[in-house]
Structure 1
Amino acid sequence: MAETVLRKGLDVQGYLEREGSLARVPHAFRPVVAVARDRLLGLFGPRLHSAYLYGSIPRGTARVGRSDLDLLVALHEEPTDADREAARALDTALDKEFPEIDGAGTLLHSRARLLSEAETYDLGWFVACLCTPLLGDDLAEYLPRYRPDSRLARETNGDLALLLPRWRERISRAGDSEEALRPLVRFMSRHLVRTGFTLVMPRWNGWTSDLTEMAEAFGAYYPRRAAQMRAAAVRGYAPRGDRDALMSYVDDLGPWLAEEYRRVHGVKAPRPD
């Protein structure tokens, strides 16, 4: 009997495995993770339902001085503007105090939204599969298991066409400032590579968060666009304030990818504002 070969990121039943764990956090990043955990408790107290790490730090692939700290916080109620301002202040303080990280970002959502039917295959999947519990009751216990299918592809990244006009505005506001353009290059490069990967994810039948692997998986199905996606993966890891690259995203690669995504998987269901 032939042995079944499983794709990366899947368990023996073909479900997506949760990536990352606190045990994988590199030693150099443990102090900033500990401080972030304590400060989140101080900021939100009993209003905090749970908090999570995601990204390269809990995957164990973070690079000192080059990787950012990514956090997600679930509150018992909807976050307020004051909550978001407090989270931004926390991010700024952590970035200044810890040279090991290159920026920090905290996402805020309510428990109800993360567990809502509308978000089951977007934010819910994100928590269940890409987030590592840091504080509180793990919401993954209340969410389904996921397969790398077309529904998951559509509901995670099927909104690129809506994002592109906003990206163009952000590029325009950044002008020619290296300091302003660099984070846009990192963010947009990563977003496009991940969207390209989820476009082919059901055919590839697996999961990876490695940008290089994502670009290679995409290129196997779209060889004419492979070089562009590989270049975006490189910029996602080592960004420079390249305005021409950003314009190529919103004028060429992005519109093509949005249309191909619509053709293959459809458009993401509308969400409340």
Structure 2
Amino acid sequence: MPETVHHRGLDAQGYIEREGSLGRIPHAFRPVVAAARDRLIDLYGGRLNSAYLYGSIPRGTARVGRSDLDLLVVTRQEPTEKDRAEARNLGEALDKEFPEIDGVGTLVYGRARLLSEPETYDLGWFVACLCTPLLGEDLAEDLPRYRPDSQLARETNGDLALLLPRWRERIATAEDTDEARRPLVRYMSRHLVRTGFTLVMPCWNGWTSDLQEMAKAFAAYYPERAEALRRAAECGYDPMGDAGVLRSYVDDLGPWLAKEYARVHGVKAPRPDDIA
């Protein structure tokens, strides 16, 4: 097996550094970020506890017309269906108004859920390490520091076996068009690459959000599956609505990865309202 070495993404003490910042947002995306910030305030008012950016835009790697805008909205109380509907409507409006982005993905969670003990090494880690503060309180101040260890691997991506039946249902019910399948290819490709990376993350001893670097790290430990994950990384960046790709994910790569993940790290602790 490859030697354990120090990689980028960790500080001098071996903790995962927070990625992204408002200062890294490319100039072309600043208007849409500003619009999102202002409209979140208008929409949620006193219900809003915090808002964050995550993904390629705050990392400074977004591509005009190809990258999506990723938002995390934190409500003071548990979010309602109205809260989620407003987030969806906001995303649709921004996507139509700003051609610089290719879609908007918005997560909506309550403050208590993000700071709860069961979420410490999943959503809590996500907030503390992968999210860039945009509005309100930064919950990272109430969360621990994180190392790229097996516990983190298990609690972030150790639920793939649970997700696969839901993915099959989403594929089966999607419209039979490339346009309808393309978002599924992008989402599932990225999820599988990240799962493959966190499978080897404790040995690789570092963190990255770059899909190609994730696939390369994985390849050093599982060369027999390297090509499949490399192709998934390509689809994560440039998805095509290929039904065959989706079938391979739920019939081959996904089941293998779920089984190997459970063998190496165990299974993620169940959540009462897990959704894919």
Matching residue's letter, 1:213: E
Distance 1:212 1:13 in 2: 26
Instruction: Please name the residue that 2:267 is paired with.
Output: 267
Give yes or no for the alignment of 1:93 onto 2:93.
Answer: yes
Instruction: Please name the residue that 1:233 is paired with.
Output: 233
Distance 1:230 1:7 in 2: 20
Give yes or no for the alignment of 1:111 onto 2:99.
Answer: no
SS at match of 1:101: coil
How many residue pairs get aligned? The number is 269
Q: Deviation per CA, 1:5-37: give whole Å up to 9, x if none.
A: 731100000000000000000000000000000
Instruction: Please name the residue that 1:29 is paired with.
Output: 29
Distance 1:105 1:192 in 2: 18
Matching residue's letter, 1:18: R
Q: Scaled by the length of structure 1, what TM-score is found?
A: 0.98
Give yes or no for the alignment of 1:184 onto 2:184.
Answer: yes
Matching residue's letter, 2:202: P
Distance 2:119 2:210 in 1: 24
Matching residue's letter, 1:26: P
Instruction: Please name the residue that 1:246 is paired with.
Output: 246
Distance 1:188 1:270 in 2: 21
List runs of 5+ in structure 2 lacking aligned partners: none
Instruction: Please name the residue that 1:208 is paired with.
Output: 208
SS at match of 1:102: coil
Matching residue's letter, 1:94: L
Instruction: Please name the residue that 1:140 is paired with.
Output: 140
Matching residue's letter, 2:62: A
Q: Deviation per CA, 1:103-155: give whole Å up to 9, x if none.
A: 00110000000000000000000000000000001000000000000000000
Instruction: Please name the residue that 2:124 is paired with.
Output: 124
Instruction: Please name the residue that 2:47 is paired with.
Output: 47
Instruction: Please name the residue that 2:77 is paired with.
Output: 77
Distance 1:203 1:112 in 2: 33
Two-structure CA RMSD over aligned residues (Å) = 0.7
SS at match of 1:20: coil
Alignment of 1:160-171 (within 5 A): 160-171=160-171
Shift of 1:175: 4.1
SS at match of 1:62: coil
Fraction of identical pairs, as percent: 78
SS at match of 2:220: helix
List runs of 5+ in structure 1 lacking aligned partners: none
Give yes or no for the alignment of 1:158 onto 2:164.
Answer: no
Distance 1:47 1:228 in 2: 44
Q: Deviation per CA, 1:66-93: give whole Å up to 9, x if none.
A: 0000000111001111111111000000
SS at match of 2:23: helix
Matching residue's letter, 1:240: M
Q: Scaled by the length of structure 2, what TM-score is found?
A: 0.97
Extract structure 1 runs of 4+ deviating beyond 2 A: none
